[in-house]
Structure 1
Amino acid sequence: MENDNLLFSRLRSVRSRKRTIRKDVEKQIRKKYQLSDELWDIRRNTPWIPLDKPYQRGFVRFFAVREDVMRSKDGDFFEEILKKINTYMYSESRQFLKKKRKFGRRIYVAKEQKLKQISSYSWNDPKFGLTPRERQYFLKQEEYCSGRKTYVPYYEFTESWRFILRTRPNMITHYKPVNFELEKECAELDDYLGQYKIVGIIHKTIYGRSYPWKRKREDIPLIKSRKYVTCTMSATEIAESLQDL
């Protein structure tokens, strides 16, 4: 009888076995996730090697501070702002054209280039480095995001006339050597970690929550909710119609 009790005590339940299997799978995913980070660090920190003969590959267009603004006492101040909101656009020709369909035929139109918009995250991030004086030249705007179904705030520079577009040849002076074994291993890890179920396990075990991209709906103003955008009657009109009854 005692031997039977000892035998049953050593047998693991179905729930315990499933828990062990789940923990082993999570450990393997965590190891592969850490290995992926290490390989990406190696890939990113690979040093650039200068070319013996630099060559031109199209043109690059960017913003620069106007000469009259640069000669003023605030020239260096606006140059620091431009470093944080400057954008670069590349093209094979100097015209920077793109195809567009109009009346059933394709035409070429000029590409539009704007200054970078600052997100609310970068605005509150001390690493971004916006000073109190620089913040005075930005205006808060909102844009509706169909994916998140809410209005997303951003900050836009108000005095864009202080900058002008400049174009110069895009010269290739350095190259980064490619390690094919490293690229193959990174691709295999990305393919494995990008699976739907694996992504859910990573968000739940490593990031600490199952769906980090979702947020509570209580912080969305009622008037800006998509459900109430189509309402034609205001609250006052509804109250007056009820009083008439």
Structure 2
Amino acid sequence: MEKDNLLSFRVRSLRSRKRTIRKDVEKQIIQKYKRSKELWKIRRNIPLVPLDQPYQRGFVRFFVVRDDVKRSKDGDFFQGILNKINTKMYSETRKFLKKKRKFGRRIYVEREQKLARLSTHQWNDPKLGLTTRERQYFLKREDYCPFRKRYNIYYEFIEPWRFVLRVKPNMITHYKPLNSDLEKEIDELDSFLGRHKIVGIIHKKIYGKPNPWKDRYKRDPLNSRKCVHYKMSATEIAENSEDGNILQF
């Protein structure tokens, strides 16, 4: 009788076996995800090799400080700002054109290029190194995003006339050597991790996902019993204090 009881305790239930299998699969997915991140870092840190014969590949357009501003006493100051908000644009020709449809026919118009906008994260990032004087030349703005349905805050340079565009040939002087074994392993991991079910497991176990059930049944503090007696605007409180009434809570 005792042996039968011991055997019954040792036998695992179907639910326990399924849970163990699911956890093993999730661990393998997490390990492959971490391995893919390591391989991406390895490929990114591969040193560049100089070319024996550099060649031209189109043209590049970027901003430079105007000559009159550069000769002034604040030339170095604005050059430092430009180094943080400069942008580059590449084109096969010097004209930097793009196709646009107008009145049913396609025409070519010039591509617009602007200085970079600083996000809130970049604005507060110590690596960017914005000084107090440099911050005075930026203006805080808001832009509504219809997809996320919220306002995005960014900082824009208020004196773009101090910089002008310049075009020069885009010369290729270095190349990154290709490692076939590394690229093959990266492609295999990307193909595996890009599956629909695998992406869901990664978002759930690594990044986490919100719990809509808590948000649906979350209690509003303004409508709770504890706060319902204290619903009073700031204007009413000021009027009562001016009249000399004493608020009793």
Unmatched segments (≥5 aa) in structure 2: 216-249
Q: Judge which range, 77-86 or 191-200, deviates more.
A: 191-200
Deviation at 1:31, TM superposition (A): 1.0
1:184 aligns with 2:220: no
Structure-1 separation of matches of 2:88 and 2:210: 34
1:2 aligns with 2:2: yes
Q: Deviations over 1:126-159 (max 9, x none)?
A: 2222222211111111111122111111111101
Change (3 A) 1:210 1:196: farther
Match of 1:18 in 2: 18
Counterparts of 1:1-245 in structure 2, within 5 Å, are 1-207=1-207, 209-211=208-210
Q: Judge which range, 172-181 or 2-11, deviates more.
A: 172-181
Structure-2 separation of matches of 1:64 and 1:180: 40
Deviation at 1:184, TM superposition (A): 2.0
Structure-2 separation of matches of 1:9 and 1:138: 70
Deviation at 1:121, TM superposition (A): 1.5
- Select the structure of larger CA radius of gyration: 2
Q: Deviations over 1:92-113 (max 9, x none)?
A: 1111111111111111111100
Deviation at 1:211, TM superposition (A): 4.9
Q: Judge which range, 146-155 or 191-200, deviates more.
A: 191-200
Q: Give the letter for the 1:140 counterpart.
A: K
Structure-2 separation of matches of 1:170 and 1:81: 24
Structure-2 separation of matches of 1:122 and 1:202: 28
Structure-1 separation of matches of 2:210 and 2:101: 40
Structure-2 separation of matches of 1:187 and 1:129: 38
Deviation at 1:68, TM superposition (A): 1.1
Match of 1:222 in 2: none
Q: Deviations over 1:73-123 (max 9, x none)?
A: 211111111111110001111111111111111111111000011111111
Q: Give the letter for the 2:204 counterpart.
A: K
Q: Give the letter for the 1:184 counterpart.
A: K
Q: Deviations over 1:45-66 (max 9, x none)?
A: 1111111111111110000011
Structure-1 separation of matches of 2:126 and 2:204: 28
Change (3 A) 1:121 1:196: farther
Q: Secondary structure at the match of 1:94?
A: coil
Q: Judge which range, 182-191 or 42-51, deviates more.
A: 182-191
**Are 1:29 and 1:202, in contact at CA under 8 Å, matched by a contact in 2?**
yes
Q: Secondary structure at the match of 1:93?
A: coil
**Are 1:59 and 1:170, in contact at CA under 8 Å, matched by a contact in 2?**
yes
Q: Give the letter for the 1:151 counterpart.
A: Y
Deviation at 1:183, TM superposition (A): 1.4
Match of 2:234 in 1: none
**Are 1:203 and 1:211, in contact at CA under 8 Å, matched by a contact in 2?**
no
Change (3 A) 1:62 1:37: same
**Are 1:201 and 1:210, in contact at CA under 8 Å, matched by a contact in 2?**
no
Moved over 4 A (4+): none
Deviation at 1:181, TM superposition (A): 2.3
**Are 1:137 and 1:158, in contact at CA under 8 Å, matched by a contact in 2?**
yes
Structure-2 separation of matches of 1:181 and 1:127: 35
**Are 1:48 and 1:177, in contact at CA under 8 Å, matched by a contact in 2?**
yes
